[in-house]
Structure formats: structure tokens, C-alpha cells
Chain A
Amino acid sequence: MAGVTLDTVRKVYTGNVEAVKGVSLGIEDGSFCVLVGPSGCGKSTLLRMIAGLETISGGTVKIGDRVVNQVEPADRDIAMVFQNYALYPHMSVYDNMAYGLKNRGTPKDEIAKRVNEAARILAIEPFLARKPRALSGGQRQRVAMGRAIVRKPQVFLFDEPLSNLDAKLRVQMRVEIKRLQRTLGVTSIYVTHDQVEAMTLSDKLVVMSGGQIEQVGTPSEVYRRPETRFVATFIGSPPMNILPGQVEGPGRVSVGGQSVAVTDMREGLTPGSAIEVGLRPEDVQAGAAGSSALTMNVDFVEELGATQLFHGKVAGSEFVVQASTGQIPADTRQLPLSIDPANVHLFDPQTTKRLGRT
């Protein structure tokens, strides 16, 4: 097994469209790395370059210690699971899984052993003789994964493998993928636009936007301390509230004329300069006497069962508060907010970078 190292990898399409703008990233051996971002952020292109399905315009891709820029996909020792599964429709499930091994001249009894073992792990033994069209979406997904694991590759690549499944199956397969990766211990790179998948699956979370990496870290690091406003609003559901404010002084900003205390604030910011104040809906508490005196005008309430979302305005900007059901009366019109200084995120309005302690 091997890690994957990307060094200023670029992809330029004809017409000078730069899809990936110099991405550098180290993925440790055996870890589960998730690339997440909105559509068109270059995450799939990056994955396809690692797979060898797209040429690399600049930089190097290393699998283990080997630079693979010029290596054919077949010789990179990788396996890929596609969004539409890409099963061979004219072959049985067994032949689908055996195809890659046959091409490599693996002995017949070894093929049978590996395919049967993979089928056992994935619980698809009863379907080995069937054609893919006789399988359900979830079963096809398992076959696609089986095809990847029989090869015992150095790296697994997943290109949005769960987006064609229904919500319930998606949650179930997500857990199975995670368990499978833990069991096999193979380095995995997983592309998704779903931030819940990204948070739950990854050891290393890579948030991408506009062909560049916005932030790399563990899921909790990225959630706790987003480095840019993009990451702050992309990771977390419902997204972080962003309010315009001003710097008051060390550890204090003002929002709509009200003073708010902040723990994580860069020193030496000019008082009076504009700043963006980020607050997660789940970090804001209802309460009369907090350390801050912001008030929300509630417009309507969304019921989610265990929690309720209060939609409204704070200091003229859209704001959402998430609270456990019953904590706040649903007919509240004026909601005083209590804010823990440790939960306030500050961003530069120009560069959108975090203005935390250095």
C-alpha cells in the first residue's frame, strides 16, 4: 500500500480554462481522504488525474514513491468506483469482478478465491451468476466495490459513488464503505459534493473551490476553525450565519450597534474597520442575559423533529438559529440571543480569510 502525493498539480483545458490551479496535497498511507466542494470546483478532475483518465497539465502526481504522470491507468495500481457504477452490462457479476484479474493473467483458482472472498465481504454471493441489469442500485454499488477490492490495489478512488442511491441506502452504504476501508486499510480518495458524507467518512477533509484547495484538516478542525468564509458556509448544515460588523477593539466587535465579545480574534485590527462575523445556527443560544445583546426578529419556524430552525433577521441580515424542540416557544417573535465568545468566527470582507489568532 502507498500514500498519494500531489505537487502543484494543474489542469488546463483547451481554450485556457484552468480547472485545477496548482493543488498540493499529501495523503498518508492507509488514510481516508475526502475531496469536497460544489460542482465545477475541480475535485472530480483532480481524482481523474490521479486515476490517469485525464492528462496532467502541470505538477506531479506520486503514488508511493513513483511519479505516475506518464503511467497508464492500468499500471498505476489503483481501482476506481464510478458514480454510475460502470459495470460491464454483458458480463455476470462474477465476470465483472474477475475481468481486471483476467487481464493481468491471474491464475483461475486465485481469481475464484479472490472473487468469492470479496463477494462474501460485500454479501453479494447469491448474485454472482446474475447480470448487472437484474440487480438493484445498492447491489450494483456493491459489485462496483467488489470489482475494486478483488484487485487489491494500492489506492481506491471513489467518484461520488453514492449519489445515485436513495437517501436511506446512501446512509447505509456510507457506513459500509467506512467499515470496509477500515478493515482493508487501503488508502482511499473519495470525491463528493455532500458535506455530510465528507464529514462522516474522512480522516482528512479537503475542501475545494474554484480549482483550488480552501482548507485541509480533520473534519472537526475544518468544522471548528474554518479558514475561509467559503469553508465556513459550505461545511455545516444549516450553513453558518454571516453578519456584517465592525472592529471595536481587542476581543470585541460590534454588530448592528451591539457589542459582541470574541475569543479567537487577530491582534492589531484597526478599530472601526469592516469585518464579517460568523455564527453557526447550532452555536447560538436563546437567552436574555448573555455576554452579547443581539436580538433576532423571527419570521418563521421550520420543524425538523428533534430540532427547530428559527428563521429571521439580526441587524438586517438573514439569520438562522437551531434549537432543540421545546427549548424556545414556537410563537416567539423577538428572540434574544446569547453568544459564547469562543463560538464567534471572524473573516476579512476582502480576502474572505479567517481573522483568528495567528
Chain B
Amino acid sequence: MEKRALFSSKILPYMLLLPQLAITLIFFYWPASQAVWQSFLLEDAFGLSSEFVGFENYRHLFQQPEYYRAMVTTAVFSSAVAVLSLAVSLLLATQADKQLRFSNGYKTLLIWPYAVAPAIAGVLWIFMFHPTLGTLSRPIKAIGIDWNPMLDANHAMTLLVLSATWKQISYNFLFFLAGLQSIPKSVIEAAAIDGSGPIRRFWTIIFPLLSPTTFFLIVVNIVYVFFDTFGIIDAVTGGGPAGQTTTLVYKVYADGRLGGDLGGSAAQSVILMIIVIGLTAIQFKYVERRVQY
């Protein structure tokens, strides 16, 4: 069926589109184009003048070892969070799908962390794992680990991965549960009659049938870890110790706001923008027409 509205006036349809177009232009395209323009400028330390330097900011960026380190950090961080949160939420979803008693309450409780703001989530986790104040640091030290996320980069990364994962599990859980519930029960029963035990059934039937959901979530999770974990990083480690947990997004903030290098920061934003466009393109290409099985 064709969904087409007919207007007698030629101006009215444009008037109706105007609010949406205005929002998109003012809040999306204008800042984006500003970032692109700024990435070609070099500003003096006091922000009084700026000069056009072409690709100088980009050249400088790719000469910094810190930038490559931030790339590695981002890759490690995002893959760890994506793998961990997908695995845990899939496990929780398969349990919730068993339709036990209180499963509704269980589902509701699992969804709550998603409503917690990233910065608050970060604060909650640092409360628990602060080297001297944290309630859970004491038992960790008691088992012989010299726990200190303020000094040890691995500890800091572990803490970030845990808090970012904790927040993302709810979202993944909802999608996995919906995915599981859309698998016809009779297919599972047919597999049971066909002599496939619960574990084999999961890997040969359920997991392949969930692949569209899994693929969608992988892309969404990577985008989440890239861009939405700023609050958590800022609250938990502030990019430290010694820049060891500075991701690409956090570096944009650190260089631009704290370092005052607006041009370099803008260049980094443009690179991030290209990455997001790439990820979105992949998502549209594969997820929109579903993973074929």
C-alpha cells in the first residue's frame, strides 16, 4: 500500500518538514561541519587567532604514539565489553526464557541498570572498588591481590570493563530474550525428539537462529563502548593512570578541553565520525536485510 499524503498547497509539506530539518541541521550538520572546518585550523594558546593549516593537525595526530595507544586501548576495551556483555546477557536471557516462577520480576530487575546514567554507574563502581575506600577492595586485597586501579593500568581497565559491561547487559538481555522468544517452540521440541541434548541444541539450533540479533548487538555494543562510556571513564579513572585508559573519545575531550588543542581534537572527532559512518553502513547493509540463515 502506498502511504502518500496529498497536499493542495506546495508550501505546506515543507513547512511540516521544517522543524525536523531545523533540528537536524542545527544540532547535527552544523556542529559536524564546524568540527571538520576546525580540524583544518590551528588556534593560538589564548584562542585569539587561528590560521588555516590544511592537514597539519592530522599529520601531527598520526605522529603521536599516544594516539596509537588510545586506539589499542579502545580496541581492547570495546572488544572486552562487547564479548563479556553479550556472553553474560545471553546466559541470563536463556535462563529467563525458561519461564520459571518470578521470571517477570527477574526480567524487570535486570532491566534497571540501563536506566542508570553512565557517570552515576561509574561512581557506584568506584565506591565499591576504590583502593582505600571501596567496600569490595578489602576482600580482594584479603585474597592476596594488591588491588589498586589508581596505579595499575590492568586493574583500571578491568574495573572499566566491568562497569561498562554491567550497564550494557540490560540492553543486550532485552534483545536476546526477544530473540529467544521468537524461536518457535516446536523447533526446539523437534530438536529434542531428534536426540539433541540441551547444550548441543543450544549451539546447533538456538545460537544460529539468534545470529541476526547477535550481529545487531555486536554493532550496537561497539558503538556504545566507543561513544557512550565517556561518563564511566571520566568517573572511574579519568583516563588514567598515566593515560592508560584513555580511549579515542576520551582523548578528544582530554586534548580539546583539558589540553586546549581544539584543532587536534577536531581532527580526532572527524576520524571518529568516519568510524561511526562505517559501522552504521555495515549495520544497514547486513542487519537491515538480516543475517541470512
At the interface, is chain A mostly helix, strand, loop or mixed? loop
Q: Does any Cβ of A come within 8 Å of B27's Cβ?
A: no
Quick one: which of A53, A87, A89, A104 contacts B192, CB cutoff 8 A?
A53
Q: Does the CB pair A99–B196 fall under 8 Å?
A: yes
Q: Does any Cβ of B come within 8 Å of A175's Cβ?
A: no
Q: Does any Cβ of B come within 8 Å of A262's Cβ?
A: no
A10-29 interface bits toward B, Cβ cutoff 8 Å, 1 = contact, 0 = none? 00000000000000000000
Contacts of A83 in B (CB 8 A): 186
Q: A79–B194 Cα gap in the complex (Å)?
A: 8
Q: A82–B189 Cα gap in the complex (Å)?
A: 9
A100-112 interface bits toward B, Cβ cutoff 8 Å, 1 = contact, 0 = none? 1001100000000
Q: Does any Cβ of B come within 8 Å of A215's Cβ?
A: no
- Say yes or no: A51-B193 contact (C-beta < 8 A), given A86-B186, A88-B205, A103-B200: yes
- Say yes or no: A90-B193 contact (C-beta < 8 A), given A82-B186, A84-B184, A103-B200: no
Q: Does the CB pair A100–B186 fall under 8 Å?
A: no
Q: Does any Cβ of A come within 8 Å of B208's Cβ?
A: yes
Q: Does the CB pair B293–A86 fall under 8 Å?
A: no
Q: Does any Cβ of A come within 8 Å of B61's Cβ?
A: no
B164-203 interface bits toward A, Cβ cutoff 8 Å, 1 = contact, 0 = none? 0000000000000000000010110111111111001000
Q: Does any Cβ of A come within 8 Å of B124's Cβ?
A: no
Contacts of B192 in A (CB 8 A): 53, 72-74
Q: A144–B78 Cα gap in the complex (Å)?
A: 43
Q: Does any Cβ of A come within 8 Å of B209's Cβ?
A: yes
Quick one: which of B194, B196, B197, B209 contacts A90, CB cutoff 8 A?
B209
Q: A52–B184 Cα gap in the complex (Å)?
A: 18
Contacts of B293 in A (CB 8 A): 89-90, 131
- Say yes or no: A100-B194 contact (C-beta < 8 A), given A82-B186, A84-B184: yes
Q: A275–B258 Cα gap in the complex (Å)?
A: 98
Q: A74–B197 Cα gap in the complex (Å)?
A: 8
Q: Does any Cβ of B come within 8 Å of A162's Cβ?
A: no
A222 to chain B, nearest CB (A): 30
Q: Does the CB pair B208–A90 fall under 8 Å?
A: yes
| Contact residues, A48-104 vs B (CB, 8 A) | 51-53, 72-75, 78-80, 82-84, 86-90, 99-100, 103-104
Q: A151–B195 Cα gap in the complex (Å)?
A: 10
Q: Does the CB pair B196–A74 fall under 8 Å?
A: yes
Q: Does the CB pair A74–B194 fall under 8 Å?
A: yes
Quick one: which of B186, B194, B197 contacts A84, CB cutoff 8 A?
B186
Q: Does the CB pair B209–A74 fall under 8 Å?
A: no
Quick one: which of A52, A86, A90 contacts B190, CB cutoff 8 A?
A86
Q: Does the CB pair A53–B189 fall under 8 Å?
A: yes
Q: A322–B200 Cα gap in the complex (Å)?
A: 57
Quick one: which of B184, B197, B208, B211 contacts A86, CB cutoff 8 A?
B184
Q: A52–B191 Cα gap in the complex (Å)?
A: 13
Contacts of A90 in B (CB 8 A): 208-209, 211, 293
Contacts of B189 in A (CB 8 A): 51, 53, 73, 80, 82, 86
A216-249 interface bits toward B, Cβ cutoff 8 Å, 1 = contact, 0 = none? 0000000000000000000000000000000000
B224 to chain A, nearest CB (A): 27
Q: A73–B211 Cα gap in the complex (Å)?
A: 27
Contacts of B194 in A (CB 8 A): 74, 99-100, 103, 147, 151
Q: A103–B194 Cα gap in the complex (Å)?
A: 7
Q: A151–B186 Cα gap in the complex (Å)?
A: 18
B78 to chain A, nearest CB (A): 28
Q: Does the CB pair B187–A88 fall under 8 Å?
A: yes
Contacts of B190 in A (CB 8 A): 80, 82, 86-88, 147
Q: A53–B209 Cα gap in the complex (Å)?
A: 21
Q: A80–B193 Cα gap in the complex (Å)?
A: 7
- A75, A80, A104 — which one has the most chain B CB atoms within 10 A of its CB? A80
| Contact residues, B141-177 vs A (CB, 8 A) | none
Q: A87–B184 Cα gap in the complex (Å)?
A: 10
Q: A86–B195 Cα gap in the complex (Å)?
A: 15
B53-91 interface bits toward A, Cβ cutoff 8 Å, 1 = contact, 0 = none? 000000000000000000000000000000000000000
| Contact residues, B207-230 vs A (CB, 8 A) | 208-209, 211
Q: Does the CB pair B191–A78 fall under 8 Å?
A: no
Q: A73–B196 Cα gap in the complex (Å)?
A: 10
Closest residue of chain A to B211 (Cβ to Cβ) is A90
Q: A84–B211 Cα gap in the complex (Å)?
A: 22
Q: Does the CB pair A74–B195 fall under 8 Å?
A: yes
Contacts of A100 in B (CB 8 A): 193-195
Q: Does the CB pair A78–B193 fall under 8 Å?
A: yes
- A51, A73, A86 — which one has the most chain B CB atoms within 10 A of its CB? A86
Q: Does the CB pair A104–B191 fall under 8 Å?
A: no
Contacts of A147 in B (CB 8 A): 190, 194
Q: Does the CB pair B195–A79 fall under 8 Å?
A: no
Closest residue of chain B to A76 (Cβ to Cβ) is B193
Contacts of A53 in B (CB 8 A): 189, 192-193
| Contact residues, A105-150 vs B (CB, 8 A) | 131, 147
Closest residue of chain B to A105 (Cβ to Cβ) is B195
A4 to chain B, nearest CB (A): 15
Q: A83–B186 Cα gap in the complex (Å)?
A: 9
Chosen A-B contacts, 6 in total, with CB atoms closer than 8 Å, are: A73-B193, A82-B189, A84-B186, A86-B187, A90-B209, A147-B194
Lowest 9 CB-CB distances: which A-B pairs, in order? Answer: A90-B293, A100-B194, A86-B186, A74-B195, A103-B195, A86-B190, A82-B186, A90-B208, A73-B193
Excluding A82-B189, A88-B190, 13 further A-B contacts by CB distance (< 8 Å) are A53-B192, A53-B193, A73-B193, A74-B194, A75-B195, A78-B193, A82-B186, A83-B186, A84-B184, A88-B187, A99-B204, A104-B195, A131-B293
